[in-house]
Amino acid sequence: MTGRERALAGGCLCGGVRFLLAERPDGVVTCHCGQCLRFHGHIGAYVTVPRDTVIFDADETLSWYRSSAIAERGFCGRCGSSLFWKGDGKTEIEIAAGSLDQPTGLTTLRHGYVADKADYYEITDGLEQFPGSSEQE
């Protein structure tokens, strides 16, 4: 199986949270919103899959924080790794791309919330940029 075909697995730095994705995501979407900047220490890079396709091998240290009126963020309560974003009422979950075991065979697709990006970097990769959400509806 090539990197594009194989199932993806991931987890936190200490191993307290480990998961397998039963469905491969299309690619990575970056988020430049203020919450992602603070949660990740820089931009957020996420893959999206249906919630019910995430299979946990270990989740004893998984903690959730209500980061806004509409969403929660998942992280490891032991090592602090930022792992998930889930919106209320959504059937999908966003998984931090950096938490996936390498190689993934994925590429970055587009950038969201670029109107909120920090002033210390530029986006120069030529990918599509959205001032708000990059969800294509």
Considering the domain boundaries, does residue 135 fall inside one? no
- Per-residue model confidence as pLDDT tens digits over 23-44: 999 999 999 999 999 999 999 9
Omega prior to 131 cis, within 30 of 0: no
Task: Please say if the pLDDT value at position 2 is more than 50.
Answer: no
80-83 long-range CB contacts below 8 Å, 24 or more apart?
80/13, 81/11, 81/12, 81/13, 81/14, 81/17, 82/39, 82/40, 82/44, 83/10, 83/12, 83/17
pLDDT tops 70 at residue 55: yes
Number of helices (H) and strands (E) in the chain: give both, helices first. Answer: 1, 11
47 in a structural domain? yes
Would you say residue 125 lies in a domain? no
Domain span at residue 45 reads 8-118
- What is residue 52's predicted lDDT score, i.e. its pLDDT? 97
Considering the chain, what is the average pLDDT of its residues? 94
Residue 73 sits in a domain whose CATH number is 2.170.150.70
On the question of pLDDT at 3 being above 50, the answer is no
Band of pLDDT at residue 6, cut at 50, 70 and 90: confident
Residue 136 falls within a domain, yes or no?
no
In a domain, residue 123? The reply is no
Pairing of strands 44-50, 92-96: antiparallel
Is residue 20 in a domain?
Answer: yes
Residue 124 lies in a domain: no
pTM: 0.91
Number of domains in the chain: 1
